[in-house]
Chain A
């Protein structure tokens, strides 16, 4: 009997020293109590979800690229042609020139500006800096080409042209059209305009009844 206990103890020590404690770090796929090879299809159905591999398609991926000349439904006008509102979706007037101002389909209010600030902070400030002076964190690492928003060329630039820069990129700057829906792009532009104003604004620009909030007379 004693031998049986000794043997058990030995097995316990052996198992323990092989399997170790919890909270180790490992690189092999996790073990499973009911492994997939023994019970195929029970845990992971043979269906495709986002960003998976599939031999069914020639390029081997489950996410299908958008067919040419289409836009994602969430980004475009639901149920209308993309060209239905050139101003809103392309920043252009009917004659093809850059539109100035903001599309009539949008209401510019505080909520819109807050949205613009949030999106700007996420997607633009790493390079353009929190105040739009081109001094974002990447500058420290050697990204030199980022311009400041506070020069005359960019102050005079039509809103539609900035919209195009966000949608399709420009020069060294890659497009952000895949990350920002058209409405969000306009919100970001509104916030960029606010940043530009903030650099050149004077006391006269602040409405009388709001001056006290800023400590102005």
Chain B
């Protein structure tokens, strides 16, 4: 009887196993790289209805974050009302076509359809005020907004990202006066890690690391 399979077929099972291993490795690497928030979310910069630029208003005019995000240190963060814009734009660039949407909203009272950039899932409890009042600057989670023309997500906002800081707050805390200053450095960077440890101890900063702290 003629041989049904060539001799090399003996090696085939091994070759197939090796091949599947290689494919498995590639698939794992790809999932690690592409299926995490570091890839899916970082860089999200939606089209906004008004070409509002933080680089102009914060970087150039030097407005404080709280002028517009005025509830940030007491309640949650909120996008400012159109009246906040009209404080200045009733006199500056009052006829600019770029601001037509704002003027219409101011007159009718309907909201401006801003697109949310950062959104937490409903099963996570997050509050700005505790972070802001305990020495965590905006820049830790939002990057240099003061240099962005369009707000872009720069941090993954994944559970690992939150925990990295909650486990080692001394690397991230800064002086209370620097929280809203995006160009300031952390205490660890400017005064050394020992000063930061003392700060964390003096202020009794104990971020939650147990599940129920954030999933409540």
Measured CB to CB, the residues of A under 8 A from B are: 1, 4-5, 8, 12, 15, 19, 22-27, 29-33, 43-45, 47, 50-51, 59, 61, 65, 74, 121-123, 126-127, 137-138, 141-145, 172-175, 178-179
Set of chain B residues within 8 Å of A27, measured between Cβ atoms: 44-47
Q: Is B184 an interface residue (CB 8 A)?
A: no
B residues whose Cβ falls under 8 Å from a Cβ of A: 12, 15, 19, 22-23, 26, 30, 33-35, 37-47, 61-64, 66-67, 70, 74, 76, 78-79, 81, 83, 86-88, 90-92, 109-111, 119, 121-123, 152
Q: What residues of chain B lie closer than 8 Å to A1, measured between beta carbons? A: 12, 15, 19
Query: Which residues of the other chain, B, contact A74 by a CB distance below 8 angstroms?
Result: 74
Q: B26 to A12, Cβ gap below 8 A?
A: yes
Q: Which chain A residue lies CB-closest to B39?
A: A22
Question: In the complex, are the beta carbons of B121 and A44 less than 8 A apart?
Answer: yes
CA distance A178 to B80 in the complex (A): 11
A183 to chain B, nearest CB (A): 13
Q: B46 and A137: CB pair below 8 A?
A: no
Complex contact B43–A172 (CB within 8 A): no
Which residues of chain A have C-beta atoms less than 8 A from B70's C-beta? 178-179
- Find out whether the CB atom of B92 lies under 8 angstroms from the CB atom of A138: yes
Q: Which residues of A contact B74 (CB under 8 A)?
A: 74
Question: Contacting A8 at CB < 8 Å: which of B15, B26, B44?
Answer: B26
Main SS at interface, chain B: loop
Residues of B within 8 A of A12 (CB): 26, 30
Instruction: Select one of A5, A44, A59, A138 contacting B122, CB under 8 A.
Output: A44
Docked complex Cα distance between A193 and B152 (Å): 41
Tell whether, in the assembled complex, residue B122 and residue A47 are in contact, meaning their CB atoms are under 8 Å apart: yes
Contact across chains for B44 and A143 when beta carbons are under 8 A apart: no
Complex partner residue of B19 from A5, A121, A126, A137, CB under 8 angstroms: A5
Bound: A137/B76 CA distance, A: 28
Task: Decide yes or no: A172 and B92 within 8 Å by CB, A30-B41, A43-B121, A51-B79 being known contacts.
Answer: no
The answer on a CB contact under 8 Å between A121 and B64 is: yes
Beyond A8-B23, A51-B79, whether A143 also contacts B88 by CB under 8 A is yes
